[in-house]
Amino acid sequence: MKRKNIALFALLVMGFWACQSGENVTEEKVFIDTLTIDRHLSVLASDDFMGRKPFTEGEEKTIHYLESELKAMGLKPGNGNSYFQEVPLVEITGTQSPTMTVTGQGKTMSFETGNDVVIYTERVEEEVSVKDSELVYAGFGIVAPEYGWNDYEGIDVKGKTVVVLVNDPGFGSGDSTFFKGDQMTYYGRWTYKYEEAARQGAAGVLIVHETVPAGYPWLVVQSSWTGAKLNLDDANPPYKCAIQGWITRNTAVQLFQAAGIKDYSGIAKTKGFKPLALGLKASMSVQNEIKRDMSHNVVAMLEGTKRPDEYVIYSAHWDHLGVGEPVDGDSIYNGAHDNASGTVGLLTIAETFAKMETKPERSVVFLFVTAEEQGLLGSAYYAQNPLFPANQSVANINIDGLPAYGEMKDLTITGYGQSELDNYAKAEADKQGRYVIPDPDPAKGYFFRSDHFNFAKIGIPALYASGSYESKEKGVEFIEGKTQEYLDIRYHQQADNYLPEEWDLKGIAQDAVLLFNVGNKLANETYFPKWNEGSEFKAKRDEDMSLKKK
């Protein structure tokens, strides 16, 4: 089909910044146009880039394209003399034992891996197993002092396998003050449950899957936690449980019935819940093939004119899923929306900063991270090995999937209420005539499912926002239809292609302008935004900032 001409869309950004520090910033005229967006998308989402998967030729093409563009803008390398931060990864291809065997209470039960249970390991070992490991029911597997909650209180689970529920106790309670009600907290994420079980010294951890509180069906578990998985190849790896995995609700019911426990979900939502030994023992194993290689984050910076040792960090992940089995003759996961659009948005923001006549007072960092699709690995490595100190990092602005449906009336903030960055975003949305809404589906925990989460974990306030609810011209139903179509046939599928004859790039430009404005505001004041009361990340930030003052 012949490509339609894409008309130039220019947005004028004019700001007279009334900073909280009392300083004002000179008015600047800045343009972000759709021709630049189209140029970058046509390259990064092309078949030539082979789905941008780490460890492939697609990675080499992607990171060198980004390096070349950042150099051409005149931006400095962000890692000494290099635009790259090496990220050591290990690929583990696990083969589950055919069954998980459970004995005790006068019974022997066998559960088929794949259908009844899915198990894997992050330990870099050729064979990992648990044998006759005692099963302990640890409720939601949460230790949250700010909520007065400890699901491990009074029991030693070292060497044992814990069974825990998905999500957190607030979900479905009807009480927005109990944890955060239906809005998932960090404690509801499966990643947290694995981490906490490891901190408790458990040998294994099994999460009970249920579609509604998990936010996805068992099919997603079967596909996402089997086959080759990338992990960080840590020189000094933290303790990890030997076995991590999921069990179906039906499997859980059989285990709890054998242990004589009826309302296992109800008792776990009671504040006085105590962990229970089930009187059962489990055996299972994983055989691994191991491959090591090096991937790369790409990082550039614009040095601040007055406070160069304070940093505003933008991030977007450059990677996608590579090449797979053909579907309708297409084998390449181009990842045009996820996340070529965000990568391009960040490139245009970087170029906008580079062209400014009046440079920002704080340094601005442009970080393109690897292996997000493999578990937020590039940003996790950066968080463990930050190039800029966390307590000198003002904020993170993360970009992951920008709207290709034209200008939007809304700005949806995922994780709304977490930090003062909401106020910055709202101020800029107001200037564009847009309204701000929180994520309309907070139970799925999207705040914990993109790279900003790893910045939050080390205390850095993070903003993750884009237009995603209401089209300026076509309304809410139009976006609902497009969103559902994307989820049904494009998300993590070969059909996520750049279609210039269909995509309306004005929405990407609109969001890029807004996010540029937020970052520029932050880069020209002395204030450090804070996490709000009740945020899971406030304590870490408060601790780090107190150390800075000493």
32: Cα within 13 Å, side-chain hemisphere? 28
* Burial letters 298-336, b for 16+ CB under 10 A, else e: bbbbbebeebeebbbbbbbbbbbbbeeeeeeeeebbbbb
177 three-state secondary structure: coil
pLDDT number for residue 14: 31
Full-model pTM: 0.85
pLDDT number for residue 386: 98
CATH code for the part of the protein at 92-290: 3.50.30
pLDDT number for residue 27: 47
pLDDT digits 0-9 by tens, 447-461? 988 999 999 999 999
pLDDT number for residue 436: 98
pLDDT number for residue 29: 58
Phi, psi of 515 (to 5 degrees): -70, -35
pLDDT number for residue 545: 95
CATH code for the part of the protein at 44-74+303-547: 3.40.630.10
Torsion angle of C-alpha atoms 94, 100, 101, 105, degrees rounded to 10? 140
Give the whole-angstrom CA distance, residue 469 versus residue 510.
14
User: What distances in angstroms separate CA 264 from CA 88, 92, 169, 518, one per listed residue?
Assistant: 41, 34, 12, 46
- Domain coordinates in residue numbering, the chain: 44-74+303-547, 92-290
pLDDT number for residue 201: 98
Region of 148 on the Ramachandran plot (φ > 0 left; ψ -120 to 50 alpha; else beta): left
Residues 205, 161: contact at Cβ < 8 Å? yes
pLDDT number for residue 56: 93
pLDDT number for residue 442: 84
User: What distances in angstroms separate CA 1 from CA 333, 499, 501, 512, one per listed residue?
Assistant: 21, 10, 8, 29
Give the whole-angstrom CA distance, residue 496 versus residue 337.
7
pLDDT tens digit at each of 550 positions of the chain: 333 333 333 333 333 233 333 344 444 556 799 999 999 999 999 999 999 999 899 999 999 999 999 999 999 999 999 999 999 999 999 999 999 999 999 999 999 999 999 999 999 999 999 999 999 999 999 999 989 999 999 999 999 999 999 999 999 999 999 999 998 999 999 999 999 999 999 999 999 999 999 988 898 888 778 888 889 998 788 899 999 999 999 999 999 999 999 999 999 999 889 999 999 999 999 999 999 999 999 999 999 999 999 999 999 999 999 998 898 999 999 999 999 999 999 999 999 999 999 999 999 999 999 999 988 999 999 999 999 999 999 999 999 999 999 999 999 999 999 999 999 999 999 999 999 999 988 888 889 889 999 999 999 999 999 999 999 999 999 999 999 999 888 888 899 999 999 999 999 999 999 999 999 999 999 999 999 998 989 999 999 999 876 6
pLDDT number for residue 237: 86
